[in-house]
């Protein structure tokens, strides 16, 4: 059985994962409107990943005989600047997610919930990957600068993400 404080914190994380998903879907719409379908694809895949993370947490709460309480998902930003600026925002967002996952893990340690610690390790590892992916794309975009041809090449590369 899961403790009430950990259950509440996991419910908050479910909400934040859905907020993340909605943000990435909004970023995808922005890129579609900019005729950058590869960037839009990358964000849609990210949207699906975040939704999957929320569902993984959702299932875990029920597996531990807890209660899931869903909250409203706030409207995401709809105005964005350059692709580099968007990915800098992605990195900042993922760093926030990392801090929230770390706090969840700390709570699991405090509650002496070894099953939760084991479960949350997957998310800790996932966040390393999430931050690295965003950083790699930021570095690539900074390297190409304002070159439209290079931007098109990056767009094609991001369009290949599945």
Q: Where are the domains of the chain?
A: 4-159
pLDDT in tens, 93-148: 999 999 999 999 999 999 999 999 999 999 999 999 999 999 999 999 999 998 99
CATH code of domain 4-159: 1.20.1260.10
pLDDT in tens, 38-83: 999 999 999 999 999 999 999 999 999 999 999 999 999 999 999 9
**What pTM was computed for the model?**
0.95
Structure tokens at 52: 């999957």
Question: Can you tell me the distance from the alpha carbon of 98 to that of 64, in angstroms, rounded to the nearest whole number?
Answer: 23
Q: Tokens 């999957």, residue?
A: 52
CA 75 to each of CA 19, 41, 94, 129, 136: distance values in angstroms, whole numbers, following the listed order: 8, 21, 18, 26, 28
């Amino acid at each position: 059985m899961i403790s009430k404080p950990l259950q509440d914190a996991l419910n908050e994380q479910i909400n934040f994962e859905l907020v993340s998903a909605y943000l990435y879907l909004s970023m995808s719409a922005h890129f579609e409107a900019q005729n950058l379908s590869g960037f839009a694809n990358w964000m849609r895949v990210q949207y699906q990943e975040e939704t999957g993370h929320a569902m993984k947490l959702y299932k875990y709460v029920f597996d531990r005989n807890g209660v899931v309480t869903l909250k409203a998902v706030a409207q995401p930003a709809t105005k964005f600047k350059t692709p580099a600026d968007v990915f800098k925002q992605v990195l900042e967002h993922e760093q926030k997610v990392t801090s929230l996952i770390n706090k969840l893990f700390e709570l699991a340690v405090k509650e002496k919930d070894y099953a939760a610690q084991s479960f949350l390790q997957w998310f800790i590892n996932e966040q390393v990957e999430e931050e690295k992916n965003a950083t790699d794309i930021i570095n690539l975009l900074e390297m190409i600068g304002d070159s439209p041809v290079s931007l098109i090449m990056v767009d094609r590369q991001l369009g290949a993400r599945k």
